[in-house]
Amino acid sequence: MTDASANTPATPRVKTSLLELGERTKKRNAAEARFKLYGMMAVGTGVAALLLLLISILSQGLPAFTQTFIKVNITLDESVLDPSGNRDPDEISKVLTFSYDPIINDSLKGLALELSAQHSEVTADVLQDMISAEAKGRLRADVIANPDLIGQTIEYEFLANGRIDGYMKGRVTRETAELDGNVTPLQLDVADAMIVEEKLEKRFNWAFITAPDASELRPEAAGLGVALMGSAYMMAIVFCLALPIGVAASIYLEEFAPKNWITDIIEVNISNLAAVPSIVFGILGLAIFINYMGLPNSAPIVGGLVLTLMTLPTIIISTRASLKAVPPSIRDAALGVGASKMQAIFHHVLPLAAPGILTGTIIGLAQALGETAPLLLIGMVAFVNNYPESIFDPATALPVQVYNFTQRSDPAFVERASGAIIVLLVFLFCMNMIAIILRRRFERRW
Amino acid sequence: MSFAKLTASALAITALSATAGVARDQVSVAGSSTVLPYASIVAEAFGENFDYPTPVIESGGSSAGLKKFCEGVGPNTIDIANASRQIRGGEVEACAANGVTEIMEVRIGYDGIVFASQIAGPEFTAFTEEQWYEALAAEHFKDGELVPNAYTKWSEVDASLPDVEISAYIPGTKHGTREVFEEKVILAGCEETGAYQAMLDAGVDEDTAEGKCMAVRTDGVSVDIDGDYTETLARIGANPNGVGVFGLAFYENNTATLKVATMSGVAPSTETISSGEYPVSRPLFFYVKKAHMGEIDGLKEFVEFFVSDAVAGPSGPLAQYGLVSDPELSKTQEAVANEVTMGTGS
């Protein structure tokens, strides 16, 4: 009775071979294969959704980076612009842009005559409607800056009207022009003739990135300049405020604070704050920064402060996680050789946690960059045409500009909205890239 | 430590900001999203022609704008509120309670409301107020009692209309346009069909009868659009049978994709609206704090520029965008020049 197996009647042992798979092994392998398939399908769905989004945005938005320009010779008529002839800047500035309309019209008569050889109905009015309304503003600014231009004939390159630009980009066709009150098929024919004569061309348009927003009458002139500056100011404010405050709070909570119910409550509330809808921070910003502290409406300083509050929990949570990830042996070793607690943290723990902290901060900043809801309440969802000279001047932000563009009635704003999304995505991509590079370069593993 | 320095500089910025929030260089405007495009066109031209900075125009709706307007007097409050409707008594009281007593009302012109559908869709080319009432009222008054609206197709409402499902996209209740739609289309249709009179005859009091007339059905046949006209346009683009409510200016910028219907035989245009033939239109306003005139640089110039003939006149940029210019513009100009406030002048 020593060996149980020897006595029991020989139950036929299933012969298994490594080369031949048993029933259960087959089942387990099948489950694994199925799971892999599910995983691949999940990844595939995600990638497909992303591709669809990117393709739709890129196909709609890339045309926004090019713009059609028209070359015309403008004669700056002295009798209209400076009747007294003394080139007094005060008098010249009394001539409003409305008076520049006839000047452009007169200057176009020659070109109209030239083109009427091919298209008999072409008049200066037809040509003037092809040029952006922005032209007169530019002429007036030039004349005021340099009154000596008056009386001269100068070659200008103006933006083409949004519809002509749309024709060059395939958005406007002869069929739609037929129905469209803002463009005629004749103007499209003229545009074709002007291409041949090299008076009209489509090329890359830096103004889309640098110019301020424009009204609905001149979609071709609208740009992202003010929004980019506003976003840059706000990101700088968030970085300068959220990083030091967030890191200081996390170091204290992680390394110095006693573990009691007060710190527990603080900890729970920080996690809660991270999940609070961003509009709540906007309400807070309106009540405290604008109504109580009297900060100006629509200013990046208020936006920056609000976004700082919003980003702080993210930074605190990620900083605490990276501080926790530094092994206690490093602290112990530092303390063991006689460093003070503060020295141990700032000389040893913090440098090792820095890549994690920076990654968290950049991800927090990227989140803040894409935020619109809180800005709505502090007046940054607005039409702002002047560049902000300081953080106290009115400005908008990139996502706000996307929202503004999508609300405009002119179809030309659709491509500009997608173009603005592309710029925003490029910024987010760069920021996330920096976060990854920092992590790869400086991360230490134990 | 660098962190200490950073924190100190950050605190310095905050402290500085607390003192800097007093002066304001530019005119500050908020309010109706219908008036926003017009206001931004004027602001842009103003910035181009004057040495003052371009005014900042916030959107957010008439009510939100007037609420902000009534928060008080001083550089930290807005100067102008845009509104697609007249200021209400309650709002004037709220203003007065916060010290905003002298308010100038400026009418900039008229805005038409049009009914449009997909250009390739069914033949929605002519509507009447009665048809809209019949199609969209929540309840009809039949044989002395209110019965739920049973129409599902336009052809059931009127044989001249296409034989397709009723599907209307109308502005949501937060829009000023909804009020005009209910009063000038649905209520007018109710009165024309005689349903209103029939209810009065049946002993219903006036307010209830009006309320019953204007109640729009909520069974999914009509969809409230809380966003902008761009959203309505997208819905129409996806639904060939859809009919949407748009502003005239919006339609005029999208004539290549939309086809407009006449109302009681009149086609909407700036001419028919200014002559009063086209029935569905409303005045657009902005409200100015008189106390800010002279305090905020450029405010008076901006307001005068806004109502000048070159801007708001029939050949100005606003009319070009789709505003129906006010035949009594010269009166408005005079009132602005004399800074006439509500309740004193006119």
Disruptive mutation site among B11, B40, B76 for chain A (greatest number of A CBs within 10 Å): B40
User: Which phi and psi angles does A60 have, rounded to 5°?
Assistant: -80, -35
Range B121-137 average pLDDT: 90
* pLDDT tens per residue, range A158-184: 999 999 999 999 888 888 888 888 888
CB B60 to CB A376 under 8 A?
A: yes
Distance from CA of A250 to the nearest CA of B (A): 13
| For chain B, domain boundaries | 24-110+283-337, 112-281
- For residue A438, the model assigns a pLDDT of 85
Give A158's contacts (C-beta < 8 A, 6+ positions apart).
A69, A70, A72, A131, A132, A134, A135, A138
Range A229-235 average pLDDT: 95
Contacts of B44 in chain A (CB under 8 A): 214-215, 217-218, 385
* pLDDT tens per residue, range A318-373: 999 999 999 999 999 999 999 999 999 999 999 999 999 998 999 899 999 999 89
- For residue B10, the model assigns a pLDDT of 54
Q: What is the dihedral of CA A55, A57, A60, A62, to 10 degrees?
A: -90
When CB atoms are compared, the residue of B47, B119, B230 closest to A406 is: B230
C-beta atoms surrounding B108 within 10 Å: 24
- For residue B204, the model assigns a pLDDT of 83
Per-residue CA distances from B272 to B269, B275, B320 (Å): 5, 5, 16
User: First CA to last CA across chain A, in angstroms?
Assistant: 54
- Judged by a CB distance cut-off of 8 A, whether residue B317 touches chain A is yes
Ordered by where they begin, the domains of chain A are 62-205 (no CATH), 225-442 (1.10.3720.10)
- For residue B98, the model assigns a pLDDT of 92
Q: Does residue A266 surpass a pLDDT of 50?
A: yes
Q: How far apart are CA B153 and CA B167, in angstroms?
A: 9
Q: Using 50, 70 and 90 to split pLDDT, how confident is the model at A8? A: low
- For residue A283, the model assigns a pLDDT of 92
- Judged by a CB distance cut-off of 8 A, whether residue B12 touches chain A is no
When CB atoms are compared, the residue of B40, B228, B255 closest to A180 is: B255
Q: Length of chain B in residues, anyone?
A: 346
- Judged by a CB distance cut-off of 8 A, whether residue B250 touches chain A is yes
CB B78 to CB A297 under 8 A?
A: yes
Contacts of A138 in chain B (CB under 8 A): none
- For residue A49, the model assigns a pLDDT of 97
Report the candidate in A307, A299, A300, A301 with the shortest Cα–Cα distance to residue A282.
A307
Q: Using 50, 70 and 90 to split pLDDT, how confident is the model at A12? A: low
Distance from CA of B97 to the nearest CA of A (A): 17
- Judged by a CB distance cut-off of 8 A, whether residue B249 touches chain A is yes
Q: How many whole angstroms from its chain centre is CA A223?
A: 12
Pick the CATH number of B24-110+283-337 from 3.30.420.10, 3.40.190.10, 3.50.7.10, 3.50.50.60: 3.40.190.10
* pLDDT tens per residue, range B256-291: 889 999 998 999 988 898 888 898 988 999 999 999
Contacts of A244 in chain B (CB under 8 A): 3, 6-7, 10
* Segment among A1-10, A40-49, B70-79, B194-203 with least mean pLDDT: A1-10
- For residue B236, the model assigns a pLDDT of 92
Distance from CA of A151 to the nearest CA of B (A): 21
Contacts of A243 in chain B (CB under 8 A): 6
Q: Does residue B4 surpass a pLDDT of 60?
A: no
Share of chain B above pLDDT 90, in %: 41
- For residue B144, the model assigns a pLDDT of 78
Q: Using 50, 70 and 90 to split pLDDT, how confident is the model at B141? A: confident
Report the candidate in A370, A59, A379 with the shortest Cα–Cα distance to residue A238.
A370
When CB atoms are compared, the residue of B41, B47, B229 closest to A217 is: B41
Strand partners, B223: B169
- For residue B21, the model assigns a pLDDT of 44
When CB atoms are compared, the residue of A218, A247, A406 closest to B3 is: A247
3-state SS of chain A is: CCCHHHHCCCCCCCCCCCCCCCHHHHHHHHHHHHHHHHHHHHHHHHHHHHHHHHHHHHHHHHHHHEEEEEEEEEECCHHHHCCCCCCCHHHHCCCCHHHHHHHHHHHHHHHHHHHCCCCCCCCHHHHHCCECCHHHHHHHHHHHHCHHHCCCEEEEEEEECHHHHHHHCCCCCHHHHHHCCCCCHHHHHHHHHHHHCCCEEEEECCHHHHCCCCCCCCHHHCCCHHHHHHHHHHHHHHHHHHHHHHHHHHHHHHHHCCCCHHHHHHHHHHHHHHHCCHHHHHHHHHHHHHHHCCCCCCCHHHHHHHHHHHHHHHHHHHHHHHHHHCCHHHHHHHHHCCCCHHHHHHHHHHHHHHHHHHHHHHHHHHHHHCCCHHHHHCCCCEECCCCCCCCCCCCCCHHHHHHHHHCCCCCHHHHHHHHHHHHHHHHHHHHHHHHHHHHHHHCCCC
Contacts of A410 in chain B (CB under 8 A): 253
CB A245 to CB B54 under 8 A?
A: no
Share of chain A above pLDDT 70, in %: 96
CB A140 to CB B49 under 8 A?
A: yes
C-beta atoms surrounding A109 within 10 Å: 13
- For residue B5, the model assigns a pLDDT of 56
* pLDDT tens per residue, range B42-63: 999 999 999 899 999 998 888 8
Q: What is the ipTM of this complex?
A: 0.85
Query: B24-110+283-337 and B112-281: same fold?
Result: yes
**In this complex, how many residue pairs, one in chain A and one in chain B, have their CB atoms less than 8 Å apart?**
147
Question: Residue written as tokens 């052809």?
Answer: B155
Give the mean pLDDT of chain B.
Answer: 87
- For residue B81, the model assigns a pLDDT of 94
Contacts of A305 in chain B (CB under 8 A): 14
- Does residue B190 contact residue B136 with C-beta atoms inside 8 Å? no
When CB atoms are compared, the residue of A293, A385, A393 closest to B44 is: A385
CB A298 to CB B56 under 8 A?
A: yes
- Does residue A55 contact residue A199 with C-beta atoms inside 8 Å? no
Contacts of B3 in chain A (CB under 8 A): 244, 247-248
Q: How many whole angstroms from its chain centre is CA B63?
A: 11
Residues 156-215 of B with CB under 8 A from A: none
CB A217 to CB B229 under 8 A?
A: no
C-beta atoms surrounding B79 within 10 Å: 27
Pick the CATH number of B112-281 from 2.30.31.70, 3.40.190.10, 3.90.1150.10, 3.40.50.360: 3.40.190.10
When CB atoms are compared, the residue of B3, B21, B60 closest to A244 is: B3
